[in-house]
């Protein structure tokens, strides 16, 4: 068992990305119900909508699956994966969490792993993919973008001013 599950948000700007958030949430709920952790952090701010954060959207789904609100922590400031790691690190320090499972989509997992391990090096982190809703040819551009983003991070470093 780890201390917390961290579920990463996604854009609201297209139906497939909203579905990605739902799949990530469902994976988090499943792991919670398997007693992999006692708390879930839903992380994601108001990047593409102003009326509801990514985190609150995921929380609403989790509550429909009978996850107690007391076991949910919302992180609504992050607008990037770097921000997700940065603000979740603050929460983990405040709550004295030592370990986490990070949930994201298959095409995003390598970049998320790179970022989280750089920003939260002192914690035990596991990375788990959820199902994805992309057909093979739809996933290729996502993987290419992620590879470019990882290379950019490795060359330029992680800039914490754009959280």
pLDDT digit string, tens, across residues 104-156: 999 899 999 999 999 999 999 999 999 877 777 777 877 788 888 888 888 88
- Is 15 domain-assigned? yes
Q: Is residue 161 part of a domain?
A: no
Q: Tell me, yes or no, if the pTM score tops 0.95.
A: no
Residue among 79, 62, 76 nearest 5 (CA): 62
Residue 86 lies in a domain: yes
Total domain count, the chain: 1
pLDDT digits (tens, 9 = 90+) for 147-159: 888 888 888 888 7
Which CATH number does the domain housing residue 130 bear? 3.40.50.620
Q: What is the pLDDT of residue 146?
A: 82
What average pLDDT does the chain have? Answer: 92
Q: Which residues are paired to 39 by β-bridges?
A: 4
Residue 101 DSSP SS3: strand
Section 59-75 average pLDDT = 98
Q: Taking a C-beta distance cutoff of 8 angstroms, is the pair 71, 29 a contact?
A: no
> What crossing angle do the helices spanning 109-119 and 81-95 adopt, rounded to 10°?
50
> What pLDDT, on a 0 to 100 scale, did the predictor assign at position 163?
64
Domain that includes residue 107, residue range:
4-156
Q: What are phi and psi of 16, to 5 degrees?
A: -65, -35
Residue 62 maps to a domain: yes
Output the pLDDT for position 21.
93
Contacts of 43 (CB under 8 A, 6+ apart): 6, 7, 8, 9, 54, 55, 75, 78, 84, 87, 88
Query: Is residue 163 a part of any domain in this protein?
Result: no
In a domain, 162, yes or no: no
């Amino acid at each position: 068992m780890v201390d917390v599950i961290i579920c990463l948000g996604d854009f609201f700007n297209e139906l497939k990305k909203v579905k990605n958030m739902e799949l990530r949430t469902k994976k988090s709920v499943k792991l919670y119900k398997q007693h992999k952790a006692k708390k879930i952090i839903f992380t994601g701010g108001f990047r593409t909508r102003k009326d509801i954060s990514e985190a609150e959207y995921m929380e609403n789904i989790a509550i429909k699956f009978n996850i107690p609100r007391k076991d949910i922590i919302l992180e609504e400031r992050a607008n990037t994966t770097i921000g997700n790691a940065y603000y979740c690190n603050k929460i983990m320090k405040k709550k004295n969490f030592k370990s986490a499972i990070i949930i994201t989509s298959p095409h995003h997992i390598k970049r998320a792993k790179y970022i989280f391990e750089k920003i939260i090096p002192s914690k035990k982190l596991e990375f788990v993919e959820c199902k994805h809703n992309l057909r093979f040819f739809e996933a290729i551009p996502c993987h290419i973008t992620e590879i470019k983003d990882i290379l950019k991070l490795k060359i330029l470093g992680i800039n914490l001013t754009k959280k």
